[in-house]
Amino acid sequence: MSKYIKTLVLLAGIWLAAALNGYSQDIPKELYVGNNIPDSLKEDANSVVRYSSEEYDVQGPGKFSYKVHSIITILNEKGNGEAAVRLPYNKKYSSVGSFEMRIYNADGKLTKKYHKSDMYDRAAEDYESLVTDDRVLLLGHTVASYPTTVEMTYELDASSSVDLTRWDIQGEEQSIQNELCKVVVSPDAGFRYLNKNTSIKPQKTTSGSKDVYTWQVSNLKAFKLEEGAEPWRVYPTVQFCQNKFSFYGIPGDISSWQNFGKWILDLNADGSSLSPERVAEIKKMTDTIKTDKGKAKFLYKYMQQSMRYVSIQLGIGGLKSFPATFVDQKKYGDCKALSNYMRALLKAVNINSYYTVINAGSNEEPADYNFPYNGFNHVILCVPFKNDTTWLECTSNTKAFGVLGSFTENRKALITTEDGGKLVSTPKSQARENQFNSEVHVILNADGGAKAQAKILSTGDLRSFFVNELPALKAEEQKEDIISEFGIKQPSAFDFQLGSDINDVKEVNLTIDYDKFCDVMAGDKQFIRPRVLALWDASVPITEKRKTDFYFKFPMQESCTTTIDLPAGYEVESLPTNSNLKFSYGTYDLSFVYNKDKNQVISTFKFVLNNQVIPAAKYTEMQQYFDSINHAQNKKLVIKKKA
């Protein structure tokens, strides 16, 4: 063992002993010097945590203080985020105490010092909320050279919280020299913790009447997140929670999913009904519809056409919905308010539904049956009909009835029933529910140019591009986005029309002109890649031993039939070979036919991805499969002038 490593081990022991005994300690000067980091900790690292101490002192339900002292060396510009800090607070229920940031050069010399008075104070914007009570203190240092070491110390106090948050042990491409976390809590608080991607165990001691849990790690090498991996499946964290909490002065119990669901239901109980007059109107609107599901579909469409999504996080608005009567009058609300309003509409016609909290986002981390905590960020609605269960996303005015999509599908959600909360699974979409089907007609010119017409029909998440993303762009940006999204060869002229959206099948029509469509002209021959839309051209890097699963956003099914009219006086010299490829989670078929009578080449393409999560053990098979697809799609059609 080298002298330097022995020193690190000794220092780690000193730090841990100091943490366990609760007294402060001087930090060794070596940790401020950026030039003395072991090579093993610099490999694949953008930053190195030289020392970090996080301490939670839990004083009661929802009430705790949080102290941080960190020393982080930034090795390159990718690590510059470590020289910025964002501290959230709320004027009534949380505060930022002392704060200091110190900057050191490569030799460990102090070059800059910041205080709390240097921080920028503003509303905590989240790109969704129009108004919020939450605020944030911001500070960022501009790193001029590397390595630069940043030391931070600060304290936060909170008196309103459902959870005690978590300890994020290691970030992306970051190594850890020494790090510890301590939780001081009463034995009767029902404190519990959950390890994620780590087997670390705390050392438990006592201090006065409280228990003290201390975790420590040291000499963790940096690693890169594999392409297509989800961070929550990889990065080591420890989630903290205590059974009793207080949120905006309202006490609660999260010792079980049942108790937490009951608390959420009770929190919103006073605003889940419409006025008697509106109830009568809603009943009249639906009195000719015979089935409950038909009524629900009608009311869902009514809500989509009448309401708009606006997030306003005031007071307890982070968890409590606006009353249904407010939404009915003002015609707007956030996910909580709109889901609660839809629930009230259904209640008016005697249809039961469940207000449901969920962690939204493509492939986001699911809730854990055995560890109740508030890891949710969104609300949807669950409608249990007699023969099936329908799920409603209430914030979208374009989403099809009963379709969740990749934002909330295939994960655990907490429905809130009269008997309390129940953790259930949302449905998983099938490839056939996310379709992109197209027909393309290309007329080739003898000079190598072409004109093309394309008709596209899309459903599910593939429909979302045309009904949600595209309308938010300016006209020219829309054209650029379509050309980029579908790998369309640069045209000389391009236009599109958004067509009908019947039964949630979106039609789009493209008109494309090319001055040069063929790839190569050689004498009397044209070499052509016989496609207009590049529907699948993904590739993934070769990896000797994949460690983590690969995630797509959703399963899908794509097809395209392309008819190519050859110029007068031309014929086919050679067609690309047909391809039929398979792997464990999908298929690919590409075929070509030459119709001499019509002088047309017809290609038929079909791609199916049956599952969006590919196990690590199948990664190499997938990588080779994608390479084979790209090879097949790059083959040329060769046409020539007739003799």
The per-residue pLDDT for 544 is: 87
Query: How many of the other CB atoms lie within 10 Å of CB of 268?
Result: 22
How large is the angle between the packed helices 292-306 and 335-348, nearest 10 degrees? 140
Peptide bond into 323 cis (omega under 30): no
CA-to-CA distance for 563 and 51, rounded, in angstroms? Answer: 64
Q: What are the tens digits of pLDDT across the range 430-483? A: 999 999 999 999 999 999 999 999 999 999 999 999 999 999 899 999 999 999
Whether the pLDDT of residue 17 is over 70: the answer is no
Domains of the chain: 3-251 (2.60.40.3140), 256-425 (3.10.620.30), 432-641 (2.60.120.1130)
Task: Answer yes or no: are the C-beta atoms of 400 and 506 closer than 8 Å.
Answer: no
The per-residue pLDDT for 310 is: 84
- pTM of the predicted protein model: 0.90
Query: If you average pLDDT over residues 534-561, what whole number do you get?
Result: 94
What lies within 8 Å, CB to CB, of 65 at 6+ separation is 56, 57, 59, 155, 156, 157, 158
Would you give the DSSP letter of residue 161?
B
CA-to-CA distance for 104 and 17, rounded, in angstroms? Answer: 27
Whether the pLDDT of residue 112 is over 90: the answer is yes
For 41, the enclosing helix (H) or strand (E) is helix 39-42
State the residue for tokens 């200091």: 100
The per-residue pLDDT for 14 is: 39
Q: Which residue has the higher pLDDT, 8 or 258?
A: 258
What lies within 8 Å, CB to CB, of 461 at 6+ separation is 405, 406, 429, 434, 553, 554, 556
Sign of the torsion formed by the C-alpha atoms of 328, 348, 261 and 159 = positive
Q: What are the tens digits of pLDDT across the range 566-609? A: 999 999 999 999 999 999 999 999 999 999 999 999 999 999 99
Q: What are the tens digits of pLDDT across the range 163-196? A: 888 999 999 999 999 999 999 999 999 999 999 9
What lies within 8 Å, CB to CB, of 207 at 6+ separation is 22, 184
Whether the pLDDT of residue 552 is over 50: the answer is yes
The per-residue pLDDT for 20 is: 37
pLDDT tier at 103, thresholds 50, 70, 90? very high
Query: If you average pLDDT over residues 262-279, what whole number do you get?
Result: 94
Q: What's the whole-number average pLDDT of the chain?
A: 92
CA dihedral 142, 143, 149, 151 (to 10 degrees): 10
